[in-house]
């Protein structure tokens, strides 16, 4: 095989995320018979902002970080989406994630468009002081574009409630008054919602309950594996354990562990908190990511980054249900393999929408100056995400499509309706 062929093959195997997002949009447009003009509008982010962020490091040197904020659409409401800190952040990745946020908010039927932000950095190698200075500089750089009625950021990979607190403080300082509602996923002490920290995992667990009903799978003693034991994956693991399911394997960026007899999710979380990784969990054996994704389990939860289920991996997936906690974990080519093998896949834009649903509940509580209990929040989340699951499932039944295609049809279809009704200015 010559070098070009190898390069082409590997780029097909791990496609550019925005190419994947456009391919998914094309599939939805075809099924919806979307008019070309609307399809074209949906192929383009409404606004892309790139900012350079000079930050003083602890050594006294200066490093200029690159940050992005992409507002994909605001046709259904202010744009909404998290901020990611990761060395592999790129403009195309942020564009893809912003498009997926748009379809996600639409499926959940919450009044938001979609956005995403990212800064190219390695937060694991930065001190708290460096992270704080970078966050404040990033906030200042995008301050004119965000706001509670414009675009509302939230946490994503390697950002958390503390990062949101720095954004609130910086944004509010620039405005001259407190604006906690400029972000969601804040600490509870600053108006964050109870239940927000576990919401992505909880929503994905609710979707798994619904998927299990469809597949006539009993969750009691069902086995599952989680790729990416971060906020979403670890909370998913804990909540699914509450239904009597058994965690067989889990992984993070440092490695993976498996135990055929099951592992206690709570103890695994405590082990990771203590040691920084799931690796070395007592009683477990090491497992590679590839092995984990192809383990003989009932439920597979990819909860890490994009492009982990490639066509090659997909061929060996033995799970009956895939619940996508991550954004974009399955490539469009791998989707075809998964679908033809009869695996029931709950797509990311539905499965992981619990996070943004509770972000919406946080925003509503902030704007209304009210506070709901965790029980109230969890039950509103359950109601919303089960409604979204039903909409997507019914669409898949009616049109004979996979849940992926049905999810895109519902998500893209509602945004298209909004654009059509708004009309084109001028």
Residue ranges binding ligand GLU (CB under 6 A):
80-82, 154, 156, 184-185, 327, 352, 355-356, 359
Q: Smaller CB distance to ligand GLU: residue 27 or 154? A: 154
> How many whole angstroms separate alpha carbon 406 and alpha carbon 412?
10
Q: Smaller CB distance to ligand GLU: residue 93 or 156? A: 156
Catalytic pick among 80, 104, 116, 384: 116
Rg (CA), the chain: 21
Nearest residue to the partner ligand GLU, using Cβ: 82
Q: Smaller CB distance to ligand GLU: residue 327 or 331? A: 327
Nearest to 318 by CA among 342, 290, 291, 295: 295
Smallest distance, Å, CB 94 to ligand GLU?
A: 12
Q: Length of the chain, please? A: 426
CA atoms within 13 A on the CB side of 259: 15
Residue with tokens 């409604």: 387
Smallest distance, Å, CB 1 to ligand GLU?
A: 37
> How many whole angstroms separate alpha carbon 263 and alpha carbon 225?
10
List alpha helices for 223-314, DSSP H: 231-241, 265-275, 289-293, 311-314
DSSP summary character for residue 259 = E
Catalytic site includes residue 320: no
A 10 A CB-CB count for 40 gives 11
Q: Smaller CB distance to ligand GLU: residue 130 or 306? A: 306
Smallest distance, Å, CB 358 to ligand GLU?
A: 7
Q: Smaller CB distance to ligand GLU: residue 170 or 352? A: 352
User: Which CA distances in Å does 340 have to 30, 244, 396, 402?
Assistant: 20, 29, 15, 10
Residues known to be catalytic = 116
């Amino acid at each position: 095989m010559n070098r070009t062929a190898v390069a082409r093959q590997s780029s097909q195997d791990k496609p550019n995320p925005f190419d994947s997002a456009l391919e998914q949009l094309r599939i939805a447009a075809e099924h919806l018979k979307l008019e070309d003009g609307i399809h074209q509008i949906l192929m383009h982010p409404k606004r892309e902002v790139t900012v350079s962020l000079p930050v003083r490091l602890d050594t006294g040197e200066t490093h200029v970080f690159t940050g992005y904020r992409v507002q994909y659409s605001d046709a259904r409401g202010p744009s909404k989406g998290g901020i990611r800190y990761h060395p592999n952040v790129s403009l195309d990745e942020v564009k893809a994630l912003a498009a997926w946020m748009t379809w996600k908010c639409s499926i959940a039927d919450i009044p938001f468009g979609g956005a995403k932000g990212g800064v190219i950095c390695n937060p694991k190698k930065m001190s708290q002081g460096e992270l704080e200075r970078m966050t404040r500089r990033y906030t200042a750089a995008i301050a004119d574009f965000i706001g509670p009625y414009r675009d509302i950021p939230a946490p994503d990979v390697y950002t958390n409630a503390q990062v949101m607190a720095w954004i609130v403080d910086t944004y509010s300082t620039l405005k001259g008054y407190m604006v906690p509602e400029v972000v969601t996923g804040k600490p509870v002490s600053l108006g964050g919602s109870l239940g927000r920290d576990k919401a992505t995992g909880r929503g994905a667990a609710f979707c798994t309950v619904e998927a299990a009903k469809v597949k006539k799978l009993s969750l009691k003693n069902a086995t599952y594996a989680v790729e990416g034991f971060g906020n979403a994956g670890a909370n998913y693991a804990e909540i699914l354990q509450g239904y009597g399911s058994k965690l067989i394997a889990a992984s993070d960026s440092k490695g993976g562990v498996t135990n055929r007899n099951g592992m206690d999710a709570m103890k695994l979380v405590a082990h990771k908190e203590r040691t920084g990784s799931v690796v070395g969990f007592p009683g477990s054996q090491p497992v590679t990511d590839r092995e984990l994704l192809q383990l003989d389990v009932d439920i597979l939860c990819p909860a890490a980054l994009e492009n982990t289920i490639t066509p090659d991996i997909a061929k060996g997936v033995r799970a009956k249900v895939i619940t996508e906690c991550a954004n974009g974990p399955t490539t469009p080519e791998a989707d075809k393999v998964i679908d033809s093998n009869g695996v029931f896949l709950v797509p990311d834009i539905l499965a992981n929408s619990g996070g943004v649903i509770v972000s919406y509940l946080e925003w509503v509580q902030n704007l209304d100056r009210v506070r709901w209990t965790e029980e109230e929040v969890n039950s509103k989340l359950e109601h919303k995400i089960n409604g979204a699951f039903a909409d997507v499932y019914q669409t898949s039944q009616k049109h004979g499509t996979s849940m992926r295609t049905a999810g895109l049809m519902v998500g893209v279809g509602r945004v298209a309706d909004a654009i059509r009704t708004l009309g084109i200015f001028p």
